């Protein structure tokens, strides 16, 4: 690839980068693109899930390229004093299927796994090997980078893919089971019935610290599965630490990412749901915009996505305020009450909330009624700054 200029270099082969590459190639098969990923496969070792109402028709068409688990009957949420079944259809995509689909759909020349990027500039990408690839457009879709310019907490999780020794009786996803013991933050277990004898069980925490203790979390998953009557063989899993952004200086955060001219999308660019840490709806939307505007000069594309990032920050201010109340007003072992109250609201509101499109009436409804935290604590939280989003070392 050295010695010639390609049309677009996309750095980061996770969800945002992979969807961007696929959308651009589908819209402009004549453009030369390359999707650079440091690992040996696209998507790493992850599972992405979403409600069908999270994306529009064009987004659903883009995601249709990938094989996925699908549940039409709805999903359950379980809290100490309240359970509910909601009707929204749910989908889940494993990274192995994500990788296989991209390898089939993209030109062979575009596949650049095992390619760690040492530097990227508006007109080129430089690999650790010293290879330099010049490009008309450079798109940065790498993972979120912890920053002292942002404030908030963390979503820490460990998932286990289990083949059960006997068929289980889980009919639909359990998106939140908060009946479990709460440990230093809001804890819930998430379960997907992938087959009659397969379950994906994930232990998740809204925690003040990004420390992920694998041994402790594995033991808690063991106990949860025992309590649910599930036993069998572990055939896969994942771990992760995601930001829950409650505030900060977004302009300073964007500036520290590097000089202008690079198109910055994905979680690194700030395109996340501040409270849930979801990225899929925004990754899909950005991929479709990039495909529609792919023939613009790189500088103009970068400016377009800079505006999109700041607009996203402004539109999600409400979620950051809720996050401050969750982390700074609610006692860690009582944080589940925030979500328990939320899931009593009307289902269309819940759907818009997760998709990132709450109306003014939705926001007012969420804030009215008996609050799940003390009012003085909520006021202090809203006026406070929160903790810097800076990683600590995990055991």
Average pLDDT estimate for 101-112: 98
At residue 381, does pLDDT exceed 70?
A: no
pLDDT computed for residue 329 by the predictor: 80
pLDDT tier at 385, thresholds 50, 70, 90? low
Distance CA 304, CA 264 (A): 10
pLDDT computed for residue 368 by the predictor: 85
At residue 127, does pLDDT exceed 90?
A: yes
Coil/strand/helix, residue 357: coil
Coil/strand/helix, residue 394: coil
Evaluated on CA atoms 145, 148, 150, 152, the torsion sign reads: positive
Average pLDDT estimate for 59-86: 95
Complete domains list, the chain, with CATH: 5-68+92-147+247-315 (3.50.50.60)
Separation in Å, CA 74 to CA 48, 77, 88: 17, 10, 5
**pLDDT tens digits for 222-258?**
999 999 999 999 999 999 999 999 999 999 999 999 8
Overall pTM > 0.75: yes
Average pLDDT score over the chain: 92
**pLDDT tens digits for 297-353?**
999 999 999 999 999 999 999 999 889 888 888 888 889 988 999 999 999 999 999
Complete DSSP assignment for 105-117 = HS-GGGEEES--E
**pLDDT tens digits for 18-48?**
999 999 999 999 999 999 999 999 999 999 9
Contact assessment for residue 139 and residue 41, using Cβ atoms and an 8 Å cutoff: no
Name the token pair of 338: 């925030």
Contact assessment for residue 152 and residue 327, using Cβ atoms and an 8 Å cutoff: yes
Tell me whether strands 263-264 and 198-207 are parallel, antiparallel or unpaired: unpaired
Instruction: Output DSSP code: residue 384.
Output: S
At residue 2, does pLDDT exceed 70?
A: no
pLDDT computed for residue 395 by the predictor: 43
Separation in Å, CA 120 to CA 7, 58, 213, 293: 15, 30, 33, 21
């Amino acid at each position: 690839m050295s010695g010639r200029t390609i049309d677009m270099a996309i750095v980061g082969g996770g969800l945002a980068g992979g969807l961007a590459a696929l959308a651009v190639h589908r819209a402009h098969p004549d453009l030369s693109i390359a999707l650079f990923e440091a690992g040996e496969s696209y998507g790493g070792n992850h599972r992405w899930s979403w409600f069908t109402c999270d994306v529009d028709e064009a987004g659903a068409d883009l995601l249709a390229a990938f094989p996925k688990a699908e549940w039409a009957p709805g999903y359950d949420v379980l809290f100490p004093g309240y359970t509910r079944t909601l009707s929204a259809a749910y989908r889940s995509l494993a990274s192995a299927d994500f990788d296989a689909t991209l390898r089939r759909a993209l030109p062979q020349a575009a596949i650049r796994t095992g390619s760690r990027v040492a530097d990227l500039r508006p007109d080129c990408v430089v690999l650790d090997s010293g290879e330099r690839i010049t490009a008309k457009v450079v798109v940065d879709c790498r993972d979120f980078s912890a920053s002292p310019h942002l404030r908030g907490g963390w979503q820490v999780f460990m998932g286990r893919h289990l083949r059960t020794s006997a068929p289980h009786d889980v009919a639909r996803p359990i998106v939140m089971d908060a009946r479990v013991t709460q440990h230093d933050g809001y804890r819930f277990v998430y379960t997907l019935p992938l087959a009659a004898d397969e379950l994906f069980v994930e232990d998740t925490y809204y925690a003040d610290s990004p420390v992920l203790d694998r041994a402790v979390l594995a033991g808690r998953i063991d106990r949860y599965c025992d309590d649910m009557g599930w036993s069998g063989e572990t055939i896969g899993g994942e771990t992760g630490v995601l930001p829950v952004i409650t505030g900060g200086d977004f302009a300073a955060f964007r500036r520290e990412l590097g000089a202008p001219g690079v198109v910055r999308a994905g979680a690194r660019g700030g395109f996340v749901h501040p409270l849930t840490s979801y990225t899929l709806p925004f990754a899909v939307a950005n991929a479709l915009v990039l495909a529609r505007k792919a023939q613009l000069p790189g500088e103009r594309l970068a400016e377009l996505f800079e505006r999109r990032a700041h607009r996203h920050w402004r539109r999600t201010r409400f979620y950051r305020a809720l996050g401050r109340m969750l982390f700074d007003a609610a006692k860690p072992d009582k944080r589940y009450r925030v979500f328990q109250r939320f899931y009593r609201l009307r289902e269309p509101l819940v759907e818009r909330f997760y998709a990132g499109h709450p109306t003014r009436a939705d926001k007012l409804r969420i804030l009215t009624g008996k609050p799940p935290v003390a009012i003085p604590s909520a006021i202090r939280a809203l006026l406070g700054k929160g903790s810097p989003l800076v990683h600590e070392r995990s055991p």
